[in-house]
Amino acid sequence: MNHTAHISHIAHTAHTDSSHTARQPPYRKRLARGAAIWGAAALWLGLSLPASAQQGSFTTKSLTPETALVAAQAALEFCRKQGFQVAVVVTDRSGLPQVLLRDRFAGAHTVDVASNKAWTAASFRTSTTSLAEETQPGKTMSGLRSLPRFMAAGGGQVIEGGGQVFGAIGISGGPGGEADDSCATAGIRAIADVIQF
């Protein structure tokens, strides 16, 4: 094919392609244009989002049931030595119970109270003693006391180690929040070496 014939062939092909494009129904043009716009937007989003947002998932650490049980047993034993009959609840980081122990003579109410203390500490990522202070009437956070399950009394503590929250522990049955807190602290201390990493 000589040079002139080759140019003629290219011109004919271009004319055929353009006439074919011109004959496309209008909705196909709109679909093609829309696809191009969405493709550009997706590319832009993919380039502009941080790496963490592109992953779409995250990893957390949780206590094993065995570790949660060690904490609960240590707290119960510490309370017994003080002469307190209590219930102990250890939850995961979402506030769901992993372990519940109730001593022989602990009141029936202690199960719910200990569970709610642990749930509150896990949910707010702070001790219930601190929340009891910050939610007193007249303070800006006082409205939290109207939340179901919110327990503004000492005895609920966050279980954390190595910069991560693992869950919480709640105690009920001691003669006041300070006594319950001391038992919760003993439970956390019993597993401190395991969760510090």
Q: What is the pLDDT of residues 76-115, one digit of tens each?
A: 999 999 999 999 999 999 999 999 999 999 999 999 999 9
Query: Could you tell me if 90 and 147 lie in one domain?
Result: yes
The pLDDT of residue 8 is above 60 = no
Same domain, 45 and 99: no
123 and 30, same domain (yes or no): no
Same domain, 30 and 108: no
Residue 125, SS3? coil
Same domain, 175 and 99: yes
Q: Tell whether 39 and 77 lie within a shared domain.
A: no
Return the SS3 of 25. Answer: coil
Q: Considering only 2-6, 39-43, 190-194, which range has the smallest mean pLDDT?
A: 2-6
pLDDT of residue 52: 55
Residues whose CB falls within 8 Å of the CB of residue 131, separated by 6 or more in sequence, listed in order: 120, 124, 141, 144, 150, 152
Are both 44 and 74 inside the same structural domain? no
Both 77 and 115 in a single domain? yes
Q: 37, 55, 73: which is the final residue of a domain?
A: 55
Task: With cut-offs at 50, 70 and 90, classify the pLDDT of residue 28.
Answer: low
168 part of a folded domain: yes
Residues 20 and 77 in one domain: no
CB–CB of 167/98 below 8 Å? Answer: yes
In whole angstroms, what is the distance from residue 69 CA to residue 49 CA? 42
pLDDT single digits (tens) 29-53: 555 565 566 555 555 555 555 655 5
Instruction: Give the separation between CA 130 and CA 157, rounded to whole angstroms.
Output: 10
CA distance 93 to 168: 7
Structural domain including 103 reads 65-195
In a domain, 74, yes or no: yes
Is 93 contained in some domain? yes
Residue where the block lists tokens 């592109």: 54
pLDDT recorded at residue 120: 98
Q: Say which CATH number the domain at 173 has.
A: 3.30.450.150
Report the predicted TM-score, pTM, of the whole model to 2 decimal places: 0.72
Asked if 189 and 159 touch (Cβ cutoff 8 Å), the reply is: no
**78 shares its domain with 42:** no
| Residue 60 domain flag | no
Average pLDDT of the segment spanning 12-30? 52
State how many domains the chain has: 2
Average pLDDT over residues 108-133: 97
